[in-house]
Homo-oligomer: A and B are copies of this chain.
Amino acid sequence: MTTGGQGWTSGLFRDQELAGQFSDAAMFAGFARFEQALINALAEAGLVEAEDAGRLVSQIAGFEPDHQAIAEAVVRDGLPVPDYVRQLRAHVSGPGSSMLHHGATSQDLIDTATVEALARTSDILAARLDALLALIADRQSSDGGHRLQAITRMQAALPFEASARLSAWMHPLEDLRERLTELTQRSRVLQFGGAVGDLQALGDKAPIIAQSLAKQLDLSWPGHSWHSARGPVMAHANWVSELSGALGKIGQDLALMALRGGEDIALSGGGSSSAMPHKQNPVTAELLVTLARYNATQISGMHQAQIHEMERSGAAWMLEWMILPNMCETAGAGLTAACGLFQSIERIGEPS
């Protein structure tokens, strides 16, 4: 019952690999890539000399931000970029240094680094989803022809084949897998707007610089910033909650099957009870339901966070930071749990 990724609940709710995509180290690396690409782009636009740009890019590559100092500055600034840029300015030197961060604003760095983190997150989730689909397909191969009792509205309905239930689990996961590829492509969008979103400090060089920046970072450039229009992050939030929901439905079914007994399922493992040593609780099946209901709760906050005030809302934006990485971790923890759960299934239904 601790928060913060440590403690006994970590093994249930956290996902270190996904948390790592949003860590300070990962985000600050994204900031560095942005600042490097920006210097190169400014050079392409003729605002920085090419050789200065090369030197600055090298200097940025060697920059090690002081995490602790940033963490302290965040309490005052509400975000890490001002202090990050202050440190970076102190680190670089030579001609062109004053052009560091030129035309950009904090939100450009944070949102772009977030888009990159979400893309990495999607890659991780995609691989796990493939693994889970393979496990379900294996079960389909072995037990698809088994006899199972179909249940509708909490009543025994008709007997059917186990393959029907297994397919009902697979189809939404397959759809989500297919949509993920598309979603990730669509949402790999550069954030770049400068102080108030219109890139005014860059004048008519803005389009060239933006395009160069996007190209270097392997992102698309929609022709405008999206500071107060949160489409790319919303797309990921909706998707991860739908994934958790699809896993939660499987967990709910497996918990009900465990309740109905050996006719429905044989599971190995299962949780111990401190009071009843004879029990084997379908803990992981329950966990999938928990994680689904958690993300179904969080999604509301993401939709609330769409209501930015004017050109930038700290209130709405910080709400995303509180919620979205946790949603990704929750989805990731769910996939890991679901894979483990399928590995512990010994049989579904009964041979007919």
Please give, as numbers and ranges, the residues of chain B lying within 8 Å of A222 by CB-CB distance: 171
Q: Does residue A49 face the partner (Cβ distance < 8 Å to B)?
A: no
In the complex the two chains form, is A151's CB within 8 Å of B297's CB?
no
Asked, given contacts A106-B275, A158-B200, A171-B224, whether A256 binds B74 with beta carbons under 8 Å apart, the answer is no
In the complex the two chains form, is B256's CB within 8 Å of A154's CB?
yes
In the complex the two chains form, is B8's CB within 8 Å of A5's CB?
no
In the complex the two chains form, is B326's CB within 8 Å of A104's CB?
no
27 contacts between A and B (CB under 8 A): A1-B113, A1-B117, A4-B14, A4-B19, A6-B24, A11-B75, A78-B284, A105-B273, A106-B274, A152-B279, A152-B311, A153-B271, A153-B282, A153-B312, A154-B256, A155-B279, A168-B228, A171-B224, A229-B249, A234-B242, A249-B308, A259-B260, A286-B314, A286-B318, A289-B307, A290-B316, A290-B322
Q: Does residue A101 face the partner (Cβ distance < 8 Å to B)?
A: yes
State the oligomeric state as a number of copies. 4
In the complex the two chains form, is A101's CB within 8 Å of B7's CB?
no
Q: Does residue A62 face the partner (Cβ distance < 8 Å to B)?
A: no
Once bound together, how far apart are the Cα atoms of A36 and B256, in whole Å?
Answer: 37
Please give, as numbers and ranges, the residues of chain B lying within 8 Å of A200 by CB-CB distance: 158, 160
Asked, given contacts A155-B280, A196-B152, whether A318 binds B290 with beta carbons under 8 Å apart, the answer is yes
Most B-side CB within 10 Å, residue of A160, A171, A229 = A229
Partner of A155, one of B101, B172, B259: B259
Can you list, as one digit per residue, whether each of A254-298 has a CB less than 8 Å from chain B (1) or not (0)?
A: 011011100000000111111110011111111101101111111
Can you list, as one digit per residue, whether each of A60-98 has a CB less than 8 Å from chain B (1) or not (0)?
A: 000000010011111111111111010000000000000
Looking at chain A's contact residues, the main secondary structure is helix
Can you list, as one digit per residue, whether each of A302-328 has a CB less than 8 Å from chain B (1) or not (0)?
A: 011111111111111011011111100
Please give, as numbers and ranges, the residues of chain B lying within 8 Å of A195 by CB-CB distance: 150, 152, 157-158, 273, 275-276
Please give, as numbers and ranges, the residues of chain B lying within 8 Å of A292 by CB-CB distance: 306-307
Q: How far is the CB of A186 from chain B (nearest CB, A)?
A: 9
Q: Does residue A141 face the partner (Cβ distance < 8 Å to B)?
A: no
Q: Does residue A220 face the partner (Cβ distance < 8 Å to B)?
A: no
Q: How far is the CB of A137 from chain B (nearest CB, A)?
A: 15
Q: Specify the chain B residue showing the minimal Cβ separation from A67.
A: B8
Once bound together, how far apart are the Cα atoms of A5 and B113, in whole Å?
Answer: 20
Please give, as numbers and ranges, the residues of chain B lying within 8 Å of A300 by CB-CB distance: 296-297, 299-300
Q: Does residue A27 face the partner (Cβ distance < 8 Å to B)?
A: yes
Q: Does residue A216 face the partner (Cβ distance < 8 Å to B)?
A: no
Q: Does residue A211 face the partner (Cβ distance < 8 Å to B)?
A: no
In the complex the two chains form, is A152's CB within 8 Å of B318's CB?
no
Please give, as numbers and ranges, the residues of chain B lying within 8 Å of A259 by CB-CB distance: 151, 154-156, 256, 259-260
Q: Specify the chain B residue showing the minimal Cβ separation from A289.
A: B315
In the complex the two chains form, is B274's CB within 8 Å of A81's CB?
yes
Partner of A253, one of B4, B279, B286, B309: B309
Most B-side CB within 10 Å, residue of A156, A164, A284, A306 = A306
Please give, as numbers and ranges, the residues of chain B lying within 8 Å of A273 by CB-CB distance: 82, 105-106, 152-153, 157, 195
Can you list, as one digit per residue, whether each of A151-190 has a CB less than 8 Å from chain B (1) or not (0)?
A: 1111111101100110110011001000000000000000
Once bound together, how far apart are the Cα atoms of A74 and B82, in whole Å?
Answer: 41
In the complex the two chains form, is B3's CB within 8 Å of A253's CB?
no
Please give, as numbers and ranges, the residues of chain B lying within 8 Å of A27 by CB-CB distance: 1-2, 8
